[in-house]
Amino acid sequence: MKLIKTKAELIDALATIRGNIALVPTMGALHEGHLSLVSAALADGSSGSNSDDLVVASIFVNPLQFADLGDCDDYRNYPRTLEADAKLLESAGVDIIFAPDVEEMYPQGTPEIWVRTGEMGAQLEGASRPGHFDGVATVVAKLFSLVRPHRAYFGQKDAQQLAVIKRMVHDLDLGVDIRGVPIIRGSYGLAESSRNQHLSATDRENALALFATLSALRDRQTDLEQARVELSHAPGVDLDYLEVVSPETLQPIPWPPTAPALALGAITVGGTRLIDNIDI
């Protein structure tokens, strides 16, 4: 396993690769959800005929996707655990870790040219975090350009991110096979997230209200308006949004849905923002 911190070294390391390259982009602070992406990448590679296939994982806390281009406590306090993350990825079977610093990724400071995500990036999470998905799409496009992956893996927990990246690849003809990997859940259904480490025991219990609400929508035990009311009154929960949308376009659809749909929600518990979703 190689730990690489510069773009030049990464390009050199990949120059002679003859097999397919799988990319797992992360911001570090790894958990079982991230490792499931690596497992999926390895499994897809082992099912092929080329023994030269390899898996690249990136670790980069991208300031462009945070408020004020990273000039905020959320960015400053985001957990950075490179040494522990590298050990996990090595044990998981990753071939190359690309872990640049901000100056390496953006040597001239904030880039002039961005990927704009339009209406898809301006709603739901984008409405609460303006510019977030433009920052995500810009850094992912840079990673695709550097790594030149055949496949890239993203968790379905970030359903809007997954949809935006798929649309970016389609609209810009980037030629990368984007694969979503199912959500990994802990006790009682809490979705794994790097931010979970900020939750107290009470916060974790209160946070379960989001998954319970999404499950009730999936099982038609409530309607959307009632679900919003109940979630907004759950102990310790500050509701941002709860919506039912088309999985492809992210546009809201009437309740009850008559075709496959996605229920998404965002809450804040104990000062920590959490998102989750479920197929309907």
pLDDT of residue 49: 53
Q: How many domains does the chain have?
A: 2
pLDDT of residue 143: 98
Structure tokens at 234: 């759950």
Q: Could you tell me the CA-to-CA distances from 80 to 74, 131, 214, 276 in Å, in that order?
A: 12, 23, 31, 23
Instruction: Looking at the structure, tell me whether residues 174 and 225 fall in a common domain.
Output: no
pLDDT of residue 52: 79
pLDDT of residue 22: 98
Instruction: Looking at the structure, tell me whether residues 252 and 154 fall in a common domain.
Output: no
Instruction: Looking at the structure, tell me whether residues 112 and 63 fall in a common domain.
Output: yes
Q: How far apart are alpha carbons 80 and 29 in whole angstroms?
A: 6
What one-letter code names the amino acid at 83?
Answer: E
Instruction: Please tell me what DSSP assigns to residue 113.
Output: -
Instruction: Looking at the structure, tell me whether residues 136 and 64 fall in a common domain.
Output: yes
- For 59-102, the pLDDT digits (tens) are 999 999 999 999 999 999 999 999 999 999 999 999 999 999 99
Low-confidence stretches of the chain (pLDDT beneath 50): none
- 3-state class of 202 per DSSP? helix
Residue ending a domain, among 128, 162, 181, is 181
Q: Which domain holds residue 223?
A: 187-274
Q: How far apart are alpha carbons 200 and 197 in whole angstroms?
A: 8
Q: Is 132 a catalytic residue?
A: no
pLDDT of residue 51: 63
Q: Is 52 contained in some domain?
A: yes
CB within 8 Å of 280: residues ≥ 6 apart = 217, 218, 244, 257, 260, 261, 262, 263
pLDDT of residue 6: 98
Selected catalytic residue, list 31, 34, 170, 198: 34
Q: How far apart are alpha carbons 55 and 44 in whole angstroms?
A: 10
Instruction: Looking at the structure, tell me whether residues 103 and 9 fall in a common domain.
Output: yes
pLDDT of residue 45: 86
pLDDT of residue 222: 97
Q: Which helix (H) or strand (E) holds 55?
A: strand 54-59
Q: Is 99 contained in some domain?
A: yes
pLDDT of residue 47: 64
pLDDT of residue 187: 81
Instruction: Looking at the structure, tell me whether residues 81 and 199 fall in a common domain.
Output: no
Instruction: Looking at the structure, tell me whether residues 92 and 43 fall in a common domain.
Output: yes
CATH of the domain at 261: 3.30.1300.10
pLDDT of residue 215: 98
